[in-house]
Structures are given as C-alpha cells and as structure tokens.
Copies of this chain bind each other. A is one copy, B any other.
C-alpha cells in the first residue's frame, strides 16, 4: 500500500514540474511535442525527415531521451538544430524534471517548436506529463494492427497518431487500416498520418501540419484555454 502512495507522490511531483514547464514554454511561445513509441518504430527517422523538410521555415529544437547512448542526438545534430541528449541510465521514461534540466542547457533563441523524443516504450511514458502541448504516438505497420487495443493508455493520451513504415505494408499480414480503426476505437479524436521514411510518403503532409499547428499555437497563446487543447 505504501508503494502506491509513493508512486502517487512521484506522479504528483512530476505533474507539478510539468505545469512549470508548460507555463515556461507558453511564455517562450514554443510549441512542445512529446513523441512516444515502442523501440524501433521510427521516431528518430521521422524526426530526421521532418528536420530536413522544415529547414528554413521553422526553428526547431530537439531533446533526445534514451536509456543508453547518444546515438540519436548525433543523428539529429547533423541537421544543425539545437539538441540535448538525456540518458536515463536504465530509466524507462522521461520525467518533467529531466526535460526542465535539458531545456536549461539549450539555446532557445528564436525557437518555435521543441520536439522531445521519449524513451522507446509504449507503456510507462504515458503516465509522465513533460509539460508538452501534445503527445504524438508512432506505431510502425510491422508491429501489428492490435497494438492500440493492447496498449490503450498511450493512444488515449495522444493527440496524433503516425502510422510509420507504410512502405512495408505489402509484405505484412497486418493491416494499416485495421490499426487505424483500432486506434480510433480507443481515441476517436486522434489525428492520423501515414508515413514512410524510406519513400518519404506522408512526410510533406506531416510537415505542413507541423508548420500550421506551430504557427497557430504561437499566435493564439493569449487565449484562456488549456495549452493541451491548442490545436
């Protein structure tokens, strides 16, 4: 029983720091997205495609979260954007305090969009608010179409679903349309994109949306609404 109490305290403390982060990002007029997925769904590849596509139109920063290594930060920094790597050393999710510390080490000058790539884990990061405006959940076609039903919390808390590796669909028995249906059964409000980082299918559409939602967010911050509903 005491464990449950401690867990609640950890979450409450995290939520308080997340609130501070959200207020800080609002004042800085930075839209913050928290990208979550299983390991290997393609978060970093999508990010690389987006950074290439958005270069010149949007000032983007990146926080990379990984259990070990700075491999992802090294991939991202080739796109000449500010990037900070958080290594959790075994930790299964990012927490608001880690993000707060990472932001403190980042050059925020002119930044419009901050993308946080969470640890690859479809379970634990669902419970830890980082102060983001919204969560984007990535699922690859190769993971099978039942994942939204088996890991519903993440899909419930996300605003956007990216179905990635759509180019591999012809070689699979799983069905991207069924994946989409299962996700919308869990959360009918999900905005869905289908992408491939190999063929670049869907990347332009995703980036058009990123551009418009960032613009919208930065010009409507004086609205008295929750920032998590700003899209």
Contact = CB atoms under 8 A, between A and B. Distances in A.
Interface of A: 2-3, 6, 9-10, 38-41, 66-69, 71, 90, 92, 119-124, 139-140, 142-144, 146-147, 149-153, 165, 167-168, 171, 173, 198
Contacts of A152: 67-68
Q: Which 10 A-B pairs have the closest CB atoms?
A: A40-B143, A92-B123, A142-B142, A38-B38, A38-B39, A40-B144, A6-B6, A39-B122, A92-B124, A69-B149
Nearest to A91: B123
A150 B44 CA distance: 13
Contact of A38 (B9, B120, B153, B198): B120
A71 B150 contact: yes
Given A39-B151, A167-B171, 8 more contacts: A38-B40, A40-B142, A40-B143, A68-B149, A68-B150, A69-B150, A92-B123, A142-B165
